[in-house]
């Protein structure tokens, strides 16, 4: 039986990282346990990482935002001598199933994006303090930071050697960040990505691969100075007390279904369908900052986000044959609006702001999930405001029209609020409604004109907010036919189709990373030049180079 990958952890269980706090500055040390691989068959030498290492890093980033609001700068550094990070573990990549490699790269990309945006969104900027070799995914870690400092010791370097060494691409944004973020000239980028040994010292600075090169004797001193300067500039809230991200309440059934406090995931493995039901508020909205603090991690919007996030990741990695995710909600739409409105009223407070930012990241995680996504707006549902945003993230939505015989729940409605018009942009920089109505922007204005109205199926359909509306005579048959049809299509073709259709509009660094770069890496990960018996990934470390099929396509 395949190992179940768990994305829940806490500092007491970290094997690969340690965190030290010094007032407004935090130091995050990457100190990977060689024997701590997520799977058997490889050792995590030279601070190389696998998914288990990145799960811990994602937890650190999340806790930094919620448990340590006093921090204005985070210094990312190595806990080992002579190496910053050697990147993703090559033995792991060579031996992992294709699906795991691709999902691993996607998760690490999402993790990089999370701390890359922490400075602008949360006032927690990240510095990479690079001593030793910083190669491949190690340099991609540094690239996601706001500021890169390299010691000038004649040996420390930065490198993206995947193409010459491994016949694959830098998988977590490296190619895109050196051009789009670091603005490296194309010809120099070509040289840099072809050098196994990377670039050191003054050349790294001249090419804008790093922001500072510091004499080795003064490196720690200057890093500390810079961190305190950046922290002061970010002006974190003085005396702020974080909240504890307590463990999720989660139970697994024998059939693999999952129950959380607010999220239920029902599996139909035969049909390849997971039905995710989100429950509306089970508590009063916080009326003050003090009340929000008292709720802490139990706050409805925060708890729902954490549980849904965990469920999405679990399905991505552990239920590979589930091809369709069906989103449902149950609850009072006005109670959802009240919870959301309370956070918006309190967003001058760091905690309210962070909960809303978490939803921004979570909705992007849904956008990036390679499953067919569908939403059912049924009697008794609560697709309002933030939860309504899910309707514009999915590939199709079906809405129940009018009363259903024998069902005494309120008619199905959708309620739009201010958050649907700018609070949660997609990776393309547009709202989901702007992306939906790219060719008819006036439709966004028409939807905004119906703000805070409980829209029944007829109005929602007229406004273009749903794909189909059906009455109780046709409802079950139409849903059944859709799910059966989806199950009959090629999963590979569906993944390509959905990923291309979801991100209309402008291309950004984020869409280039998740769309273009990830798509190419997905293809390259299946090619014998990389993963075949004579491919570079399998031969790495044997002293024999890969044997390549020289045909270009």
Q: What is the pLDDT of residues 6-46, one digit of tens each?
A: 999 999 999 999 999 999 999 999 999 999 999 999 999 99
Q: Is the predicted pLDDT of residue 448 greater than 90, yes or no? A: yes
**Inter-axis angle of helices 333-345 and 300-318, to 10 degrees?**
110
Rounded to whole angstroms, what are the CA distances from 400 to 276, 384, 413, 486? 18, 15, 9, 20
Q: State the average pLDDT over residues 166-181.
A: 94
Q: What is the pLDDT of residues 211-241, one digit of tens each?
A: 999 999 999 999 999 999 999 999 998 888 9
Q: State the average pLDDT over residues 183-187.
A: 97
Q: Is the predicted pLDDT of residue 5 greater than 50, yes or no? A: yes
d(CA 52, CA 78): 17
Q: Is the predicted pLDDT of residue 107 greater than 60, yes or no? A: yes
Fold of the 251-497 domain: 2-enoyl-CoA Hydratase; Chain A, domain 1 (3.90.226)
- Residue 239: what pLDDT? 83
- Which helix (DSSP H) or strand (DSSP E) does residue 28 occupy? strand 25-30
**Sign of the Cα pseudo-torsion (486, 488, 494, 497, in order):** negative
Which two three-digit tokens encode residue 325?
């995710």
CATH class of this structure's domain 14-233: alpha beta
* Structural domain spans, the chain: 14-233, 251-497
Q: CB pairs under 8 A, 24+ apart, for 517-523? A: 517/169, 517/171, 517/173, 517/175, 517/176, 518/102, 518/105, 518/106, 518/109, 518/171, 520/169, 521/102, 521/105, 521/168, 521/169, 521/171, 522/102
d(CA 175, CA 479): 42
- Residue 158: what pLDDT? 98
- Residue 228: what pLDDT? 98
Is the separation of the CB atoms in 390 and 362 below 8 Å?
A: no
Q: Provide the percentage of residues in the chain whose pLDDT is more than 90.
A: 96
d(CA 157, CA 200): 4
- Residue 1: what pLDDT? 45
- Residue 516: what pLDDT? 87
Which two three-digit tokens encode residue 307?
């549980």
- Residue 426: what pLDDT? 97
Q: Is the predicted pLDDT of residue 2 greater than 80, yes or no? A: no
**Beta strand pairing status for 125-130 and 147-152?**
parallel
Q: State the average pLDDT over residues 524-531.
A: 93
d(CA 265, CA 312): 10
Is the separation of the CB atoms in 416 and 392 below 8 Å?
A: no
- Residue 553: what pLDDT? 81
Residue 508: band (very low, low, confident or very high) from pLDDT cuts 50, 70, 90: very high
Look over the chain and give the mean of its residue pLDDT values, rounded to a whole number: 96
Q: What is the pLDDT of residues 68-106, one digit of tens each?
A: 999 999 999 999 999 999 999 999 999 999 999 999 999
- Alpha carbon 17 to its chain centroid, in Å, reads 20
pTM of the model: 0.97
Q: What is the pLDDT of residues 354-396, one digit of tens each?
A: 999 999 999 999 999 999 999 999 999 999 999 999 999 999 9
- Residue 13: what pLDDT? 97
Q: What is the pLDDT of residues 417-446, one digit of tens each?
A: 999 999 999 999 999 999 999 999 999 999
Fold match between domain 14-233 and domain 251-497: yes
CA-closest candidate to residue 272, choices 258, 256, 260, 259: 256
């Amino acid at each position: 039986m395949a190992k179940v990958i768990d994305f829940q952890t806490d500092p007491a269980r970290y094997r690969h990282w340690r965190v030290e706090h010094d007032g407004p500055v935090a130091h995050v040390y990457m100190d990977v346990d060689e024997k701590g691989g997520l799977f058997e068959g490889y050792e995590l030498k030279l601070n190389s990482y696998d998914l288990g290492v990145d799960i811990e890093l994602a937890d650190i980033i999340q806790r930094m935002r919620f448990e340590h609001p006093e921090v204005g700068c985070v210094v990312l550094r190595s806990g080992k001598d002579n190496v910053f990070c050697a990147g993703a573990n090559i033995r792991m990549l060579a031996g992992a199933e294709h699906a795991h490699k691709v999902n691993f790269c996607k998760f690490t990309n999402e993790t990089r994006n999370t701390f890359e945006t922490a400075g602008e969104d949360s006032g927690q900027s990240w510095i990479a303090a690079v001593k030793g070799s910083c190669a491949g995914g190690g340099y991609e870690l540094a690239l996601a930071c706001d500021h890169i400092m390299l010691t000038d010791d004649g040996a420390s370097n930065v490198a993206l050697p995947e193409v010459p060494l491994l016949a694959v691409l830098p998988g977590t944004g490296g190619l895109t960040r050196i051009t789009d973020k670091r603005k490296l000239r194309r010809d120099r980028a070509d040289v840099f990505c072809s050098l196994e040994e990377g670039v050191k010292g003054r050349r790294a600075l001249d090419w804008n691969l790093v922001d500072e090169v510091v004499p080795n004797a003064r490196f720690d001193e200057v890093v500390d100075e810079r961190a305190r300067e950046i922290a002061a500039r970010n002006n974190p809230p003085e005396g702020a007390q974080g909240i504890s991200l307590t463990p999720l309440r989660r139970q697994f059934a024998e059939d693999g279904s999952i129950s959380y406090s607010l999220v239920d995931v029902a599996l139909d493995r035969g049909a390849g369908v997971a039905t995710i039901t989100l429950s509306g508020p089970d508590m009063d909205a916080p009326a003050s900052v003090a009340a929000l603090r008292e709720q802490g991690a139990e706050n409805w919007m925060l708890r729902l986000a954490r549980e849904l996030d965990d469920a999405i990741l679990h399905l991505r990695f552990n239920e590979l044959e589930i091809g369709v995710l069906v989103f449902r909600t149950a609850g009072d739409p006005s109670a959802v609006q009240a919870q959301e409105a309370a956070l918006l009223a309190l967003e001058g407070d760091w905690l309210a702001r962070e909960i809303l930012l978490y939803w921004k990241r979570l909705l992007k995680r849904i956008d990036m999930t390679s499953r067919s996504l569908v939403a059912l707006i049924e009697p008794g549902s609560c697709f309002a405001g933030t939860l309504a945003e899910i309707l514009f993230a999915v590939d199709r939505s079906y809405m129940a029209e009018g009363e259903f015989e024998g069902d005494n729940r309120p008619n199905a409605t959708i309620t739009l609020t201010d958050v649907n018009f700018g609070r949660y942009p997609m990776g393309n920089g547009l709202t989901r409604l702007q992306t939906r109505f790219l060719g008819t922007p006036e439709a966004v204005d028409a939807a905004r004109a119906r703000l805070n109205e409980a829209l029944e199926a007829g109005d929602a359909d007229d406004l273009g907010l749903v794909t189909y509306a059906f009455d109780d005579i046709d409802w079950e048959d139409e849903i059944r036919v859709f799910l059966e049809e989806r199950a009959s299509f090629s999963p590979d073709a569906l993944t390509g189709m959905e990923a291309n259709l979801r991100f209309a509009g402008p291309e950004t660094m984020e869409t280039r990373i998740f769309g273009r770069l990830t798509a190419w890496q997905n293809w390259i990960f299946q090619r014998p030049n990389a993963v075949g018996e004579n491919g570079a990934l399998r031969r790495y470390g044997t002293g024999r180079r890969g044997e390549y099929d020289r045909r270009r396509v």
